[in-house]
Amino acid sequence: MLSTGRSDLSFGPEGRERPLMVRRSRQARRMRLSVDPRNGAVTLSLPWRASLGAALEWANGQRGWIESALANIPQARPIVPGGIFPFEGKDLIVDWSPDRPRSVRREPDRLVFGGPRDAVASRLLGWARRQALATLERETRAIAEQAGVTVGRVGVGDPRARWGSCAANGDIRYSWRLIMAPVFVRRSTVAHEVAHRVHMDHSPAFHALAAKLYGGDPDVARAWLRTNGSALHWVGREGS
C-alpha cells in the first residue's frame, strides 16, 4: 500500500524550486531520499508509521546533497530552428524555414521541414515518434523471427521508468525516445524484450539469449543508457 503527498519543503534555485514529495509504503524499512534525473522530482520514501516531523527534519538536513543532485540534472533541450535534435546517436540540425514543405526530411546532418513556426517542436516530435514506431516494429519482428518466437502488438509511449516492456500476451512497448539513442543501444533493448518471449525473468538463461539475439555485449548498451538516458527525457522540454 502506498500514500504520496506534497510537503512544505522545497529545494532548488528560486523560480525553479522542486517540492519534496513524501511517499509512505508498508514495504519500506527505512527512510530514503531520491532525485529523479528524468524529471527532477525529489522524493522522500519512508515506512508507513514513521514520524513525518522527524523525516522532514532529516530530509532538510540532506539539503546539500539534494541541491547538488538537482544541479547535475541534464538541461532542458527545447526544439528550435537552428538547434540540435539527437537521432540514432547523431546530433542533427533542425533546419526549418516557413516556405518549405511541412513534411520532415532527413538529410545526413540535418532535418529539413517547414510550416508554422509555432508547430516546429510538435511537428518534429511527431515525426520522431513515427520513425521510432516503424523502426522498432521492424527490428522487433526481425529479431523475434531469429529467436523463433512470435510477438503481439508493438507500440511506443513515453514512460519515465523503463525503455521497454514485454507483456505475457506477447505485446511489446518501448519508449519512443530510443530513436534518439545510438542504434546499438536501441537494438540491444529490442533483443532484451524479445528474449522475454522465451524467459519471463532475468535468469542467466535470459541474459544469455538476449546477448545472443543482440550479437554483442548488452552491458555496453546498458552503460550508455545509465550515463546518457536521462538526458533524452529532456529533449523537447522548454525548461527545468
The residues spanned by each domain of the chain are 2-71, 84-232
Confidence of residue 66 (pLDDT cuts 50, 70, 90): very high
- The type of residue at 187 is R
How many residues does this entry show for the chain? 240
- For residue 222, pLDDT beyond 90: yes
- Asked if residues 213 and 205 have their Cβ atoms less than 8 Å apart, the reply is no
Average pLDDT over residues 203-227: 96
Q: Among residues 192, 185, 195, which one has the least CA distance to residue 232? A: 185
CB burial string 45-83: b at 16+ within 10 A, e below: bbeeebeeeebbeebeeeeeebbebbeebbeebebeeeb
The Cα–Cα gap between 220 and 31 comes to 32
Query: Residue 37 and residue 111: Cα distance in Å, rounded?
Result: 28
Query: Quick one: 84-232 is in which CATH superfamily?
Result: Metalloproteases ("zincins"), catalytic domain (3.30.2010.10)
pLDDT in tens, 132-175: 999 999 999 999 999 999 999 999 999 988 999 999 999 999 99
pTM: 0.82
Residues 6+ apart with CB under 8 A from 64: none
CB 220 within 8 A of CB 63: no
Instruction: Report the distance separating Cα 168 and Cα 20, nearest Å.
Output: 36
d(CA 59, CA 54): 9
What does pLDDT average to over the chain?
93
**Tens of pLDDT along 13-30?**
887 889 999 999 888 889
